[in-house]
Amino acid sequence: MPELRVAPSILTADFARLGEQIQEAEAAGVHWIHLDVMDGRFVPNLTFGPLVVEAIRKVTGLPLDVHLMIVEPERYLKDFGQAGADWITVHAEATPHAHRAVQQIKELGKKAGLAINPATPLEALLPLLPELDLALLMSVNPGFGGQKYIAASTERIRRLRALRDELNPVCLIQVDGGIKPENVAEVYRAGVDVVVVGSALFNNQPVSDNMKKLLGEVYAAGPR
Ligand code: DX5
Ligand code: ZN
pLDDT digits (tens, 9 = 90+) for 170-215: 999 999 999 999 999 999 999 999 999 999 999 999 999 999 999 9
DSSP symbol at 45: -
Of 93, 88, 91, 67, the C-alpha closest to 77 is: 88
What is the Å distance from ligand 1's center to 164 Cα? 23
Average of per-residue pLDDT across 126-133: 98
- 26 — pLDDT class (breaks 50, 70, 90): very high
Cα dihedral 164/125/138/48 (nearest 10): 120
Question: Which one of 36, 39, 133, 193 is the catalytic residue?
Answer: 36
- 223 — pLDDT class (breaks 50, 70, 90): confident
Would you say residue 60 has pLDDT above 90? yes
Q: Is 65 a catalytic residue?
A: no
Question: Which one of 39, 65, 176, 193 is the catalytic residue?
Answer: 176
Could you tell me if 106 and 120 are in contact, meaning their C-beta atoms sit under 8 angstroms apart?
Answer: no
Q: Is 176 a catalytic residue?
A: yes
**Domain 5-221 CATH superfamily:** Aldolase class I (3.20.20.70)
Would you say residue 70 has pLDDT above 80? yes
What is the Å distance from ligand 2's center to 114 Cα? 12
Average of per-residue pLDDT across 19-34: 98
pTM for this predicted structure: 0.98
Would you say residue 97 has pLDDT above 90? yes
Q: Whose CA is nearest to atom 2 of ligand 1?
A: 142
Q: What's the confidence (pLDDT) of residue 2?
A: 60
**Residues contacting ligand 1 via CB (< 6 Å):** 9, 11-12, 34, 36, 67, 140, 142-143, 145-147, 176-179, 196-200
Would you say residue 1 has pLDDT above 90? no
Q: Which long-range contacts (CB under 8 A, 24 or more apart) does 146-151 make?
A: 146/12, 146/198, 146/199, 147/177, 147/178, 148/178, 149/177, 149/178, 149/179, 149/180, 149/183, 150/118, 150/177, 150/178
How far apart CA 194 and CA 171 sit, in angstroms, is 11
Residue-averaged pLDDT of the chain: 97
What is the Å distance from ligand 1's center to 9 Cα? 6
How far apart CA 145 and CA 11 sit, in angstroms, is 6
What is the Å distance from ligand 1's center to 200 Cα? 10
Q: What is the pLDDT of residues 165-182, one digit of tens each?
A: 999 999 999 999 999 999
Average of per-residue pLDDT across 123-149: 98
